[in-house]
Chain A
């Protein structure tokens, strides 16, 4: 049994929340450069140029890439041989978010759903925990913007609708979203499980490095098919028309009930912020 002080969790979450908002990841910068090279529309190429410049300015000026510094989603992989000591784990994560959003000059974007009163410190985070073998603790901080999240959908299909139905829902969700979620986007797709599990899978799929194919060859093939269909929509960067509507489609799948075919589409903006800390 390995002991980890929850204070380390707070510090890790805080640093990750700040860095994710200020620094575009290397895989994203490569994906934007590939997109810029592949884009045929002049306005689309101009948008790619602005996004790459935006990433450098964010680093130079110490200003977040985007003013929507997101709702903090934290994915936790907790080794079953870890004993967390020194306080509540959940409180420690939220303290990391509170400190990171305060000291990092990040926008606090959380509010009461009905009164709309701001919580003031961007807490509480949305925390997903999986218990895994081993004695390590992995925390992935995903600041998720409201614009792209609003365009995400869960669909409960009839099994008879099959792959064609799944494909239509993915493409239809992106078509409906149009210019709203800041294309070029990353499309996270969760197929199967239950109503909430499909949504969870769709978000979890966004954590994969951009440009890395799905480890499952069958899913990799389906991802390619979906990416082509999505890019055939012609929405393009910022919706001005172009070849690159999505930089990638990421897919996760698991068995579902014999009566169901759940499909969730979680749309991610081009900032694609997520940062991992391993303790």
Chain B
């Protein structure tokens, strides 16, 4: 039976193991944004043996490129972007202790395997609900790569950001199970 869990990073392996596909989560505290361009920069830094702009151990990355904030506002619309574009970079970050990612859409078998190996989860936020999610963001500031504009790494303070566990650390996939329940045509090869 799916449960509702409040999550605040840094997350432990115990926090991650408690999460199962279909569970609703409400994320609060500090999380970091990164899209593909920022991921590439992070991996370039690692390759060059340089420090990363933030600690990854126990942290949550949110795949988002927010729209600009109006004056006096914290942020603009801030819904998730499609996660598969980050797949090639993700296993390296999981190895360094990243515990959860928030995005939308499918992950690759390699990422799902790496989540199992390093004990991490993938959370789905509602794609296209950028206005709704913006209300959960209480503070936002750019901490790295400002030249990337919306793709810069932001430190966000969030309160009860809603998401659902898509892949847990047992290698299960909510998309496969959910779709199989409603499919009326033959399953793909």
Specify which of A53, A171, A241 lies most central, judged by the most chain B CB atoms within 10 Å of its CB. A241
- Asked if A178 and B105 make an inter-chain contact with CB atoms under 8 angstroms apart, the answer reads yes
**Is B65 touching A271 in the complex (CB atoms < 8 A)?**
no
CA A179 to CA B131, docked complex, whole Å:
20
Query: Shortest Cβ distance from B129 into chain A, in angstroms?
Result: 4
* CB pairs A–B below 8 angstroms (28 shown): A43-B22, A43-B164, A51-B126, A55-B131, A61-B135, A63-B67, A63-B131, A64-B130, A65-B128, A67-B79, A105-B68, A106-B67, A107-B150, A116-B37, A146-B82, A147-B81, A150-B82, A171-B185, A179-B175, A182-B127, A182-B128, A232-B185, A234-B183, A234-B185, A239-B179, A240-B164, A241-B175, A269-B127
- A173 interface hit (Cβ, 8 Å): no
**B170: interface (CB < 8 Å):** no
CA gap between A176 and B28 in the complex, in Å: 33
B78 near A67 with CB under 8 A, answer yes
B179 partner, pick from A61, A235, A270, beta carbons under 8 A: A235
Which residues 226-277 of A have a CB within 8 angstroms of B? Answer: 229, 232-236, 238-243, 269-271
Q: Which of B65, B126, B148, B149 meets A67, CB within 8 Å?
A: B65
Instruction: Report whether A179 and B69 are in contact in the complex, using a CB–CB cutoff of 8 Å.
Output: no
Q: Among the interface residues B78, B79, B84, which one has the most CB atoms of the partner chain A within 10 A?
A: B79
Q: CA–CA, A150 to B127, complex, Å?
A: 15
A residues 180-214 near B (Cβ < 8 Å) are: 180-182
Distance (Å) between the CB of A176 and the closest chain B CB?
Answer: 8
CB proximity of B40 to chain A, nearest CB, Å: 9
Contact A47-B82, Cβ < 8 Å, known A65-B131, A105-B67, A234-B184:
no
Total A-B contacts with CB atoms under 8 angstroms apart? 170
Chain B residues with a Cβ under 8 A of chain A? 22, 37, 64-70, 73, 76-79, 81-82, 84, 104-106, 124, 126-132, 134-135, 148-150, 162, 164, 174-175, 177-185, 188
* Nearest neighbor of A64 in chain B, beta-carbon distance: B77
B127 touches A238 (CB 8 A): yes
Tally chain A residues at the interface, Cβ within 8 Å.
Answer: 52
On whether the beta carbons of A50 and B131 are closer than 8 Å, the reply is no
A233 touches B183 (CB 8 A): yes
- By a CB distance below 8 angstroms, the chain B residues around A61 are 131, 134-135
CA–CA, A242 and B181, complex, Å: 8
B180: contacting residue among A150, A179, A234, A242, CB under 8 A: A234
Counting from the closest, the 7 A-B pairs by CB-CB distance are A241-B178, A234-B182, A234-B183, A180-B105, A182-B127, A58-B131, A67-B77
Let me know if A80 is at the binding interface, CB within 8 A.
no
A34 in the interface (beta carbon within 8 A): no
The answer to whether A229 and B150 touch (CB under 8 A), given A67-B79, A147-B105, A182-B127, is: no
Question: Chain A, 38-63, contact with B by CB distance < 8 Å: what is the 0/1 string?
Answer: 00110100010011011101100111
What CA separation (Å) do A65 and B132 show in the bound complex? 8
Partner of B128, one of A40, A178, A269: A269
B188 touches A67 (CB 8 A): no
